[in-house]
Amino acid sequence: MSESTSTSGIQSVLQEDRVFAPSAAVSAAAHVHSLDAYKALHARSIADPDGFWGEIAKELHWYSPWSKVLEWDQPDAKWFVGGKTNLCYNCVDRQVDAGHGDEPAIIWEGEPVGGGGAEVRTLSYADMQRGISRFANGMKSLGVKKGDIVTVYMGMVPELAMAVLACARIGAAHSVIFGGFSAQAIADRVVDASSQTIITCDGSWRRGNIVPLKENVDEACKMLGEKAPANVIVVKRCENEIGWTAGRDYWWGELCEGQSEECACEPMDSEDLLFVLYTSGTTGKPKGIMHTTGGYMVYTYLTSKMTFDLRPDEGHVYWCTADVGWVTGHSYIIYGIMPNRVPTVMFEGAPNHPGPDRFWDVVARHKVTHFYTAPTAIRAFMKWGDEHPQKHDLSSLQVLGTVGEPINPEAWMWYHRMIGGERCPIVDTWWQTETGGHMITPLPGAVPTKPGSCTVPFFGVDAAIVTEQGEELGADEGGLLAIRKPWPAMLRGILGDRDRFVATYWDDIKKPDGTRFYKAGDGARRDKDGYFWIMGRVDDVINVSGHRLGTMEVESALVSHETVVEAAVVGMPHEIKGTGIAAFCTLASGVTADDALRKTLRAHVGNEIGAIAKPDLIRFTDVLPKTRSGKIMRRLLRDIASGKEGSGDTTTLEDKGVLEQLRKNDKG
């Protein structure tokens, strides 16, 4: 790292010079063999999106062809206009019809480990086809039909994948709610979606405890009163005691019993609604992001194939550790992976149960080749110690990925060395619930990587760093990350709230001629090689004595010190500067948290990126407040640093006790 670079917008304070080129062997086997090949394909995808995406779409099954690839009336896009397809067919039936029915589609492992080892179920494409069809017919028997929105609130069991695919099969959209959410969160989302059916489990396993899913659904239904759904379908998983409402509640097994194993896939218009997914961690009314069928299908298929370099006949076993309750699970456990005919691993539990080596045990036993996880998990692995991955044979791994937030360079290097054995390309992917799929990412055989950079735009993505007037900024100038052209998986709106859709994503970056760009909400810069560096959410930018600093870069400087495993940086009121820097740090095991360490860390940040970035307040904590998807809830940290109690939504917070610990720890 070097001294800060002056910019016209957000100030860049991080400079990373290490570069890792793909090995010759990786490049030779890859779909895209070189940086020049990537650049040529990307240029074509921008210049001729109709030709490029039309060719990709033909690799999948359509009942009837489209008349036009793209219809763009900003901010509204229609892709593969008039085409009819079915995403469940492309995930499952297409593989069966091609003679691959006996191949593994999903490898599922439950959390509990008993005397006989872990519980494992391997479901072939034919198994999935039969199970999905029976359940789809069961839903039909309850009156579920095309155009309905079905709420799904489940643990990570195979029936969760079957449930969403069964919805896609019959043309009902799904709204998956993460199984860690509260009854109130369920009620809010059910009302917003006008959902009449909820699919849940009696319970799910989490760190050896039972999460009472059905109980939460019952409580939500009580809150809803007359607006409660008519049907609640329950998977028997933990066999915990649950309440039962006759005429409303149905066991999954009994509903499927006697149902036909044949259920025709509903031909869906390319722009028919596929799912609604509510963004988490915000205040106020839930924001239901809408994704439609055709464009999302084509985009997640191609991003999965290219980003992870998936090749179905080469023994690949792919594992994304996310929950299907988040968009990562939608796109990169189910909808993007299954059409590529590579087995996808689903894991029910936590990474540290029964021990902190659980993930590496799963990798070794299932011979996982592709591993996709969050930076927050990687930092937890670092804190737990190198001895845990070292217990296991990780030689099957070929490609590593990160998702969810920017990864700091030190965590990237640990991942590279300790998990990848310095041989596996790392794909650091930037994207959002709203984008549907990867937007900026390296390709394993083509793009040299830099620790901390998500590198270059995916095919069809016209990304830029701009001002609010849409003016593109120069190299290493911090500004707003914007997307200037439509892409197939882009959100189609916010359910029931057109004005909010336009105001949130399309009103803030506008050229003088009225042209609008999609606002990602992230501050970023682009270096001289064209690589993108995410500098943190624009809302999290700290204005210190007139210098606008991105939080991610200050956090990276803190984590580069050997004592710090994870850091979160927020702004706080400061009587001289206006805004000061507050840092919350999680330390490596055995490190003493004291004033001497605070002094050392302040000096370290000053040496790394300049005196302007020295934290005014440093607090030490065992755990940072995070959502169950692993994102740090900086909004809550801002309240704590400012001495406020905080009145915002905390339904997505995994551990409520973290806030009390931080408030008690008021030294800085």
Tokens 């994102």 map to which residue?
A: 631
Total-model pTM: 0.87
Query: Which residue's entry shows tokens 């809010």?
Result: 188
Cα–Cα distance, 381 to 551 (Å, whole number) = 22
CB 631 within 8 A of CB 551: no
Residues of the chain predicted below pLDDT 70 = 1-15, 280-284, 545-548, 628-629, 645-657, 659-660, 663-668
What angle do the packed helices 657-664 and 634-641 form, to 10 degrees?
A: 30
User: What is the reported pLDDT for 546?
Assistant: 62
Phi, psi of 332, rounded to the nearest 5 degrees: -125, 20
Nearby residues of 332 by Cβ (< 8 Å), 6 or more positions away = 300, 304, 320, 322, 372, 403
Question: Residue 14's pLDDT is what?
Answer: 60
pLDDT score, position 536:
79
pLDDT tens-place string over residues 362-420: 999 999 999 999 998 998 899 899 999 999 999 999 999 999 888 989 999 999 999 99
pLDDT of residue 70: 98
What kind and span of H or E run contains 532?
strand 532-537
CA distances from 82 to 38, 535, 563 (A): 31, 40, 58
Residue 267: asked if its preceding bond is cis (omega within 30°), the reply is no
* DSSP character at residue 547: E
pLDDT (tens digit per residue) in 6-65: 333 666 556 678 999 999 999 999 999 999 999 999 999 999 999 999 999 999 999 999
Instruction: Give the per-residue pLDDT at 556.
Output: 86
State phi, psi for 137 to the nearest 5 degrees: -65, -35
What pLDDT score was predicted for residue 283? 45
Domains and CATH numbers, the chain: 84-350 (3.40.50.12780), 541-664 (3.30.300.30)
Find the helix or strand (DSSP H, E) in which 585 lies. Answer: strand 578-587
Q: What are phi and psi of 276, to 5 degrees?
A: -115, 135
Of 323, 215, 223, 284, nearest in space to 500 by CA: 284
Amino acid at 43: A
Token readout for 464 is: 């830029």
From residue 258, alpha-carbon distances to 133, 264, 265, 623, 632 in Å are 12, 17, 19, 49, 46
Concatenating the DSSP letter of every residue in 54-110 gives HHHHTTS--SB--SEEEEEETTEEEEEET-EE-HHIIIIIHHIIIIITTSEEEEEEE
Which of 159, 189, 205 shows the shortest CA–CA distance to 324?
Answer: 159
Q: Which residues contact 408 (CB under 8 A, 6 or more apart)?
A: 375, 452, 552, 555, 556, 559, 560
Give the number of other CB atoms < 10 A from CB of residue 432.
16
3-state secondary structure of 287: coil
Residues 6+ apart with CB under 8 A from 313: none
